[in-house]
Structure 1
Amino acid sequence: MVWKNARNEALFNGLGDPEGYVFTCINQTAVREELEEESRRIRDVRPFMCVLRLVAREGDRVEKLTNTQISLLIGKGLHEFEAQKNHEVNEFRSKMRSFCEEKAQKRQGLPWQQWMEYSFPCDLEPCSAKSKNKKKIFINVKFENCCLDNEAPQEPQDLPLALMRSALKKKATVFRSLRQEPEDYTLQVNGRWEFIFGKHPLCQFKQNTSSLWAINKPFNIHLLQGSRVNADEGMKVSVRAGLYHGSELLCKVVTSSEVTVCSEPLWDQKLDFDINVADLPRMSRLCFALYAIIEKAKKPRGTKKKNKKADCPIAWVNTMVFDHKDQLKTGEFLLSTWPSVPDDKSELLNPMGTVEKNPNVDSAAGLLIRFPNILPHPLYYPPLDKPHLKRTTPFFRFVSQKKMYTKLKEIMDNKNHTEFFEDEKELLWKLRTDIRDCYPESLSKLLLITKWNKREDVVQMVSLLESWPELPAIHALELLDYSFPDPAIRSFTIRCLRKLRYSFLFFIIISFLNSDDELLQYLIQLVQVLKYESYLDCVLTTFLLERALANRRIGHFLFWYLRSEIHVASVSLRFGLILEAYCRGNIHHMKVLTKQNQALVKMKALNDFVKSGSQKMTVEDLRLCVKQESYMEALSDLLSPLNPSVILAEICADKCRFMDSKMKPLWLMYRNPWPHADMLGIIFKNGDDLRQDMLTLQMIQLMENLWKKEGLDLRMIPYGCLSTGNKMGLIEVVKNSDTIANIQLNSSTSAATAAFNKDALLNWLKSKNPEDKLEQAIEEFTLSCAGYCVATYVLGIGDRHNDNIMIRETGQLFHIDFGHFLGNFKRKLGINRERVPFILTYDFVHVIQQGKTNNSEKFERFREYCERAYKILCRNGTLFVNLFAMMKAAGLPELTSFKDIQYLKDSLALGKSEDEALKNFKVKFTEALRESWKTKVNWMMHSLAKDNRP
């Protein structure tokens, strides 16, 4: 605003770039403060005097400006990272900055072909394996008097000073000449070019350390006291502690004594665990639960039963036993707890939860614990040896070798077999090398039965893992679950995922999915399993950043998947650090993302304006607001967050509106930059969590890809959907479509009878498609209806009323609004309103049969489409189960544990033969058709409620 007004002043041309200046003030502590963050309000700054001074930036202006831009973009001030005063945070920031800036430098030196591959990655349609005839695609690129992008390779003298400075600080070459390990030294800069090397402070300990495996003492901790504990008077509080490796309990849970409730309860008690220090696995985590004990009502006289006690959870917290440097922790730690508890109240401990402390330290309950000093010097987890793996001998409990391997095959073939009896565990461990050689995809089963509290077995398993064949993504993804935290397993998994390498754009052999497309297909899950990582620096983080910095499309979605959850306290630090690293490695992409972020801020302001109107707001009021200069500038000329390949040109204010629902979503229309192309539309929602819709649409997209791979194109419409913040996001507008409810209501005189008008859909299609196009429209309807029947059944999609199913004018049917899935069907007054496995009404059949009651041939073809599609999904059932399992960390209300995934296992008939699975589906198909009248009744009730809405 200052620069805009200054344009009319005489000396305006004497000013530099606005970004080279900053506002300053004198704060309440009499210190001069630079106001870098534009999001801060004056009343938050509270200057000592009501004066702001605009001055040229001091120091490294480029660095300060970049830090400010990153803070605004990621929604988290970088000063918060510095305020942590945490060695792990500082080391991670330093390492990731060097890594990302190095990638940026390499990208700047790319030839133009590879630079184009990064900036505009190819987006190919998946196709059938039958069509893989090695045809090549040639792309002709023409440049017309324009710069490719402001990220075109620059000359060395144009590189930011910070990049050159980081290049000069490379330590690797120096240490090669010294023949020393870089970790043993620190680097200090004295003056401009003088480097001073000195021994790292930790190095003095390494000469005196003892092997952890030589300590055969029981592991223990000291529980000192609590703080800010909130419970009713008269209760007693206690602490339960468990030692876990992933989901496996390493030894018996230990419980403290019960003490009287007060704000700072005192225990001062040693908690001994039934495991030796030598047997602690590297990723051991301590899980604590703070709970109150409630005395139940006394029993009547004459009963011999004692009064029962009930445990009332208060809080939980987890912490690692080893630090990020492999050192066994010692000394006191104040653990700030999390107030929420697992859904299963019978389990007070939450091993799946984060190991981060609650940042809200002023109000959260705290536990003060002390790790013992076992020896006067630190203990490190030792590097694992590589023992010689001998061929296993026949298992003695089995009569013959044939019987032994028959039993092994039975276990391996059962995809649903994850809980084992003791004799089965013994068999699997005895035949572990046979599993590697014959059933490598069953690695997860072997890892589940490994005794991680026995160091000899851990060494054997890690050594075996080094010779394990690389797995395809469908099996490797499973190993990123929190049940498999060992670093060797995580490294092996990323090694498998690295096979999803980037392929050249200009001479591409057509395939099912190019590697980056496949990685994008799983990116939502890969971001979620970051929450299971115990330390900031991990192979998964490095892998994701590496791929994001090599492909701008991956970088775009990685940014928004992380940015949308920056408000979540348990991951705010981790996600913020990764976002900072990505921004530093892609300064130019920041400008594009900043423009999108500014547009989203304006959309939220518009939505708040519509919601908070003192009087009934009209569409005209919204349009007048959009036409303001600040809104037009922010909302126009940006790349769509839903799809960075789509340009949202000028916003068409006269076409914008808000929708008639509780959250008043905005319907925003944009001019298409391509001549004679249709307008583009997006829906902005504020108040609804779109992550479940994102997951469902991702699964529908995956299904479509699998079907196309098998030569079956069911004309699905997995429209774009993106969560961009806390209950905020965007949805793609599917043009030229309408809901079944509207079509039925518009063709009937009464809302009560609209749902039973079987001719409404067919007549609507006839009106939109002349005679020569009608047959094609009905074929589109038939194919898409088959696809969504199978997809909604497999995913257990609920709340399927006629306002949640739409049809395009071309005939494609598609579903929207996926607020309920995995069999969580909608109920009202305790009555299940949805009583069919999927929606297949007689008006759908009427369209499929082209309005002819005796056209059974068309219907049988539709049935064959459904059965074929279902069989393809069953063959890939493990992939869907794994992807849903990886989403447990997302905190979706209908997906919090393995129990929620049981519906998916049943619908995909995991563990059953293809014939058995198909037989079950045929029963469901018949049931859906026979009971479709119940669907129509439900639709009638919905139409009546909609018609009576004020």
Structure 2
Amino acid sequence: MPPGVYGMQDVWEREGWQQINIEFLLPTGIYLNFPVARSDTISTIKKMVWKNARNEPLFSALSDPDAYVFTCINMTAEREELEDEQRRLCDVRPFMPILRLVAREGDRVEKLITTQISLLIGKGLCHTNRLLTSELFGRLTMEAAKHLLTTAAELYGFGSYPQDLPMFLKWNALRKKSTVFRSAKREKPEDYTLQVNGRWEFIYGEYPLCQFKVSLKVTTSSRLHSYIFFQIYMKAPHFQTSALQSLSFSQLVVQAGLFHGSELLCKVVTSNEVSVCSEPVWDQKLVFDIGVSDLPRMSCLCFALYGVIEKTKKRPTKKKNKRADCPLAWVNTMVFDYKDQLKTGEFSLSTWPSVPAESIKTTLINFFQHLKLREIVDNKNYTEFFEDEKELLWKLREEVRQRYPESLPKLLLITKWNKHEDVAQMVGLLRKWPELPAIHALELLDYSFPDPHVRSFTIRCLRILRNDELFQYLLQLVQVLKYESYLDCDLTCFLLERALANKKIGHFLFWHLRSEMHVPSVSLRFGLILEAYCRGSIFLIKSLMKQVCCIYSLCEKQINFSSALHISHVKAVTRKRKQSLFRNHLCTSVSFLDANLFCFSADKCKFMDSKMKPLWLMYKDKYDHVGIIFKNGDDLRQDMLTLQMIQLMDVLWKTEGLDLRMLPYGCLSTGNKTGLIEVVKNSDTIANIQRNNSNSAATAAFNKDALLNWLKSKNPGDKLDQAIEEFTLSCAGYCVATYVLGIGDRHSDNIMIRETGQLFHIDFGHFLGNFKSKFGINRERVPFILTYDFVHVIQEGRTNNSEKFERFRECCEQAYKILCRNGTLFVNLFALMKAAGLPELSSSKDIQYLKDSLALGKSEEEALKNFKVKFNEALRESWKTKVNWMMHSFAKDNR
């Protein structure tokens, strides 16, 4: 019976009721009624409302529970918002048993979303911002939303969004809130190499080494020509003058240059020398010998500060003393702003240190050295053009467009970007240029092609990619975001549009960006893109937050458990405690590698026995369990790249009717030396198979029957033929793949076989020909792994079964020819990954191995002839591989 005018609290106290039916009014117009206890908190009641409303109409129109607050009429007949959700219902004293659920005020919702996004991004969103700019991502989520709504019926991939999505996307709030600059204290950059494509003025910390105060003026010397004049004034409030004097710096000097990509537009200018002091000052004009009308749109102004060290000779001479300049700090800035207007007036540029102070003595480099034209493709090989070749290519540029459109990168490289007539010709030509396939268009995202028309053309070419094709190149597209001159660019818009329209792309875009938030030079840019994505995917924030919290918990618990292993009472860490640990932190988390796996199996999780104590996590779908290994302490980005290339090879081979049963398992970097690796079920290492099938550990590596006997035990009867077929095809695929990619450190513990016969490689810590050595001796002396026990399996255990082996050889040769025909794609993808900062992939020289292994510039006959030589060498020298495997086993057993 309703409480009536006496009030609900009075009835409770008079009748001694512990429960009462409450009427709930939802913002969707739905009415609910169910009993609650007087001791229940408002938070508990809200959870009950969501549980009961889940099966009601319009439930999908509700946002996150935290976006709503209960209201009631209290005992004083006033409307009250129940903000404190830890209060009990009996303490609220509502007059009637009616609670209304209303949306929180806009500012409160925004504060909640901002807090959640801060956790997701891993970077605090500061509201006391130092910089407000209309350039940043105000329009990105709006455009992405429009794209999402117009293509909602065509969504496909790993999941679609609800059809009533527009009901809870607050785009007006996005327009207002997502344009705010976010900042955090900058740490030391990890890469101090001086490059034109380096750091920009909008990426700076609170404590720069020094600040350039630059006054930019354009002075007309005649009616037909204007020169660029820079009136510079510089001060350095944080200069360590004592450290500089201890390094024998007598003077300081500033150099400035204008660049277009890697091309120097005119002669470098040098300031006067000033004495070392706490606030050195220059007050002079720096004049560049280039007209304003000849400045390309993407002109970059580069400043570098040098310390001058005087060198004296022991013997007196009449010649002047030699001088050495040591780079101290530098910064880049665009000459034109994002509105296409020439920058004028006074502005400050916070510099980056060029090298750590302790390395200054040993690092004497020339920042403004004229960069050579990068090697360009002639057919498939990169070569430099001579002057007469440049003139001919430019003269016949229209014919290049009509007959050889894929040669656009060559034409762009020989364009004179400091001549506005040539630039206008190139821009006009680009508007008529036919769209290029991704294999050629991706090259144009390199930092050597900064012109906005070129980059817009590239994105136009990439828009035709299907979601599965775009996902194949997503890793590279995230990296080349570092080359963009402005935060708001076509590439960023394109990635956000596709991420908001496809759940799989959005999931992996989030983690590719999130995994590098610890890198100071990209944390601002990546953080803003992450914020834009999160604001456009409000309904995914809860799931993403669980994943981020999961990573934090895994890191913490892994460290704690590893420490516990050194304590005498390690056995106290019982199975029950482990299960409790996993269940508390991970039971509601989805799989990072496959968002279709939601259920977590805490009972099957464990800590592994290897040195870093990785965690073995188990997820399950409708039918089976899926294992994932969490690693803390290893950089998995190189593994990600290698597995991406193997996946691409598999796609190219299958396109031409060749299925080599490749197994590119899942791998994802989630942060600074943290990540996850998919577990391949029902598989074992060659080392374990040989050890378990041999009487002596010393002879295990030379037991050629071990692999075949193991396959026979796992595949009885007629199944054996299919297992050997699987082994033959997969062995051929990985022989070719590891040779082309130059995979190193191959031993019996990182080559595995599934019970079905599939062979596959793991642990790709060395590639591009970076083979391991010890005491100056190369331990890997074969192009790829092809041992006699592998051949023994391929030949079904019969030494005279040459027909089987020749078929295996033909598969290898066919696979290699297919990769050579697509060599440009692999070279381009590796070139775009230079921005990632991988130790073994940092310059064009590192990619030379790939060009050689793919025989770029050679005919198919020449390439195949070279591969046959490598094949025979791998087979002939396989005994050396066996010796290395034996030594590896001994070293492992003696640890």
| TM-score > 0.5 by shorter chain | yes
Q: Structure 1 residues 275, 814: CA separation in 2 closer, same or farther (over 3 Å shift)?
A: same
Q: Which residue of 2 aligns with 1:280?
A: 295
Following the alignment from structure 2 to structure 1, what is the Cα–Cα distance between the partners of residues 313 and 696? 62
Q: Which residue of 2 aligns with 1:779?
A: 725
Deviation at 1:885?
0.7
Q: Structure 1 residues 774, 549: CA separation in 2 closer, same or farther (over 3 Å shift)?
A: same
Deviation at 1:802?
1.4
Please tell me whether the aligned partners of residues 583 and 602 of structure 2 are also in contact (alpha carbons under 8 angstroms). Answer: no
SS in structure 2 opposite 1:612? helix
Deviation at 1:338?
2.7
Q: Deviations over 1:874-927 (max 9, x none)?
A: 000000011011111111111111111111111111111100111111111111
Q: Which residue of 2 aligns with 1:510?
A: none
Q: Which of the numbers 590, 594, 603 marks the counterpart of 2:554?
A: 603
Following the alignment from structure 1 to structure 2, what is the Cα–Cα distance between the partners of residues 900 and 330? 41
Q: Deviations over 1:565-599 (max 9, x none)?
A: 11211111111111111111121122222222222
Q: Which moved more, 1:58-67 or 1:818-827?
A: 58-67
Q: Structure 1 residues 210, 535: CA separation in 2 closer, same or farther (over 3 Å shift)?
A: farther
Q: Which residue of 1 aligns with 2:446?
A: 481
* Aligned ranges 1:666-681 → 2 under 5 Å: 666-670=615-619, 672-675=620-623, 677=624, 679-681=625-627
Q: Which moved more, 1:732-741 or 1:303-312?
A: 303-312
Q: What one-letter code is carried by the residue in structure 2 that aligns with 1:450? A: T
Following the alignment from structure 1 to structure 2, what is the Cα–Cα distance between the partners of residues 212 and 674? 78
Deviation at 1:310?
4.3
Q: What one-letter code is carried by the residue in structure 1 that aligns with 2:669? A: S
Matched, 1:70 2:88: no
Q: What one-letter code is carried by the residue in structure 1 that aligns with 2:621? A: P
Q: Which residue of 2 aligns with 1:748?
A: 694
Q: Which of the numbers 567, 586, 592 marks the counterpart of 1:615?
A: 567
* Aligned ranges 1:560-579 → 2 under 5 Å: 560-579=511-530
Following the alignment from structure 1 to structure 2, what is the Cα–Cα distance between the partners of residues 526 and 916? 33
Q: Structure 1 residues 740, 459: CA separation in 2 closer, same or farther (over 3 Å shift)?
A: same
Structure 2 unaligned blocks of 5 or more: 1-35, 47-64, 70-82, 84-102, 178-217
Q: Which residue of 1 aligns with 2:215?
A: none
Deviation at 1:300?
5.1
SS in structure 2 opposite 1:661? coil
Q: Which residue of 2 aligns with 1:315?
A: 329
Q: What one-letter code is carried by the residue in structure 1 that aligns with 2:445? A: L
Following the alignment from structure 1 to structure 2, what is the Cα–Cα distance between the partners of residues 420 and 867? 33
Please tell me whether the aligned partners of residues 377 and 383 of structure 2 are also in contact (alpha carbons under 8 angstroms). Answer: no
Q: What one-letter code is carried by the residue in structure 1 that aligns with 2:540? A: H
TM-score (norm 2): 0.79
Deviation at 1:830?
2.0
Q: Deviations over 1:133-173 (max 9, x none)?
A: xxxxxxxxxxxxxxxx8x4526x7x536x34677999xxxx
* Aligned ranges 1:354-373 → 2 under 5 Å: none
Deviation at 1:253?
2.6
Q: Which residue of 2 aligns with 1:460?
A: 425
Matched, 1:550 2:501: yes
Q: Which residue of 2 aligns with 1:626?
A: 578
Q: What one-letter code is carried by the residue in structure 1 that aligns with 2:850? A: L
Following the alignment from structure 1 to structure 2, what is the Cα–Cα distance between the partners of residues 723 and 66? 25
* Aligned ranges 1:790-829 → 2 under 5 Å: 790-829=736-775
SS in structure 2 opposite 1:286? strand
* Aligned ranges 1:143-182 → 2 under 5 Å: 151-153=162-164, 159=168, 162-163=170-171
- Root-mean-square deviation (CA), in Å? 3.3
Q: Deviations over 1:831-880 (max 9, x none)?
A: 21111111111111111111222221111111111110000000000000
Deviation at 1:345?
6.3
* Aligned ranges 1:632-671 → 2 under 5 Å: 632-645=583-596, 647-653=597-603, 655-670=604-619
Please tell me whether the aligned partners of residues 752 and 940 of structure 1 are also in contact (alpha carbons under 8 angstroms). Answer: yes
Please tell me whether the aligned partners of residues 287 and 349 of structure 1 are also in contact (alpha carbons under 8 angstroms). Answer: no
Following the alignment from structure 1 to structure 2, what is the Cα–Cα distance between the partners of residues 339 and 603? 35
Following the alignment from structure 1 to structure 2, what is the Cα–Cα distance between the partners of residues 535 and 729? 30
Q: Which of the numbers 911, 915, 938 marks the counterpart of 2:884?
A: 938
Please tell me whether the aligned partners of residues 726 and 756 of structure 2 are also in contact (alpha carbons under 8 angstroms). Answer: yes
Q: Which residue of 1 aligns with 2:390?
A: 425
Matched, 1:908 2:859: no
Matched, 1:590 2:619: no
Deviation at 1:97?
3.8
Please tell me whether the aligned partners of residues 148 and 501 of structure 2 are also in contact (alpha carbons under 8 angstroms). Answer: no
Q: Structure 1 residues 102, 412: CA separation in 2 closer, same or farther (over 3 Å shift)?
A: closer
Q: Structure 1 residues 294, 167: CA separation in 2 closer, same or farther (over 3 Å shift)?
A: closer
Deviation at 1:754?
2.0
SS in structure 1 opposite 2:631? strand
Q: What one-letter code is carried by the residue in structure 2 that aligns with 1:840? A: L
Q: Structure 1 residues 789, 66: CA separation in 2 closer, same or farther (over 3 Å shift)?
A: same
Q: What one-letter code is carried by the residue in structure 1 that aligns with 2:431? A: E
Q: Structure 1 residues 616, 855: CA separation in 2 closer, same or farther (over 3 Å shift)?
A: farther
TM-score (norm 1): 0.74
Q: Deviations over 1:655-697 (max 9, x none)?
A: 3222333322111223x2324x3x2100001111111110000
Q: Which residue of 2 aligns with 1:86?
A: 132
Deviation at 1:791?
0.6
Q: Structure 1 residues 658, 914: CA separation in 2 closer, same or farther (over 3 Å shift)?
A: same
Q: What one-letter code is carried by the residue in structure 1 that aligns with 2:390? A: K
Q: Structure 1 residues 164, 263: CA separation in 2 closer, same or farther (over 3 Å shift)?
A: closer
Following the alignment from structure 1 to structure 2, what is the Cα–Cα distance between the partners of residues 881 and 346? 31
Please tell me whether the aligned partners of residues 227 and 265 of structure 1 are also in contact (alpha carbons under 8 angstroms). Answer: no
Please tell me whether the aligned partners of residues 619 and 658 of structure 1 are also in contact (alpha carbons under 8 angstroms). Answer: no
Matched, 1:450 2:415: yes
Q: Structure 1 residues 220, 700: CA separation in 2 closer, same or farther (over 3 Å shift)?
A: same
Matched, 1:120 2:159: yes
Q: Which of the numbers 468, 477, 480 marks the counterpart of 1:526?
A: 477
Q: Which of the numbers 662, 669, 693 marks the counterpart of 1:723?
A: 669
Please tell me whether the aligned partners of residues 412 and 439 of structure 1 are also in contact (alpha carbons under 8 angstroms). Answer: no
Q: Which moved more, 1:277-286 or 1:310-319?
A: 310-319
Q: What one-letter code is carried by the residue in structure 2 that aligns with 1:98? A: M
Q: Which residue of 2 aligns with 1:349?
A: 367
Deviation at 1:352?
13
Q: What one-letter code is carried by the residue in structure 2 that aligns with 1:333? A: F
Following the alignment from structure 2 to structure 1, what is the Cα–Cα distance between the partners of residues 221 and 431? 23
Q: Which residue of 1 aligns with 2:349?
A: 335
Q: Structure 1 residues 431, 61: CA separation in 2 closer, same or farther (over 3 Å shift)?
A: same
Following the alignment from structure 2 to structure 1, what is the Cα–Cα distance between the partners of residues 870 and 506? 42
Following the alignment from structure 2 to structure 1, what is the Cα–Cα distance between the partners of residues 136 and 401? 35
Following the alignment from structure 2 to structure 1, what is the Cα–Cα distance between the partners of residues 550 and 782? 42
Structure 1 unaligned blocks of 5 or more: 1-6, 23-35, 37-55, 122-148, 170-207, 354-410, 501-514
Matched, 1:256 2:271: yes
Q: Which moved more, 1:305-314 or 1:902-911?
A: 305-314
Q: Deviations over 1:622-653 (max 9, x none)?
A: 7444322x7414312433211223x1413233
Q: Structure 1 residues 165, 922: CA separation in 2 closer, same or farther (over 3 Å shift)?
A: closer
SS in structure 2 opposite 1:479? helix
Please tell me whether the aligned partners of residues 326 and 365 of structure 2 are also in contact (alpha carbons under 8 angstroms). Answer: no
Following the alignment from structure 1 to structure 2, what is the Cα–Cα distance between the partners of residues 805 and 544? 36
Following the alignment from structure 1 to structure 2, what is the Cα–Cα distance between the partners of residues 412 and 842? 40
Following the alignment from structure 1 to structure 2, what is the Cα–Cα distance between the partners of residues 904 and 118? 32
SS in structure 2 opposite 1:87? coil
* Aligned ranges 1:36-55 → 2 under 5 Å: none
Q: Structure 1 residues 167, 830: CA separation in 2 closer, same or farther (over 3 Å shift)?
A: closer
Q: Which moved more, 1:874-883 or 1:560-569?
A: 560-569
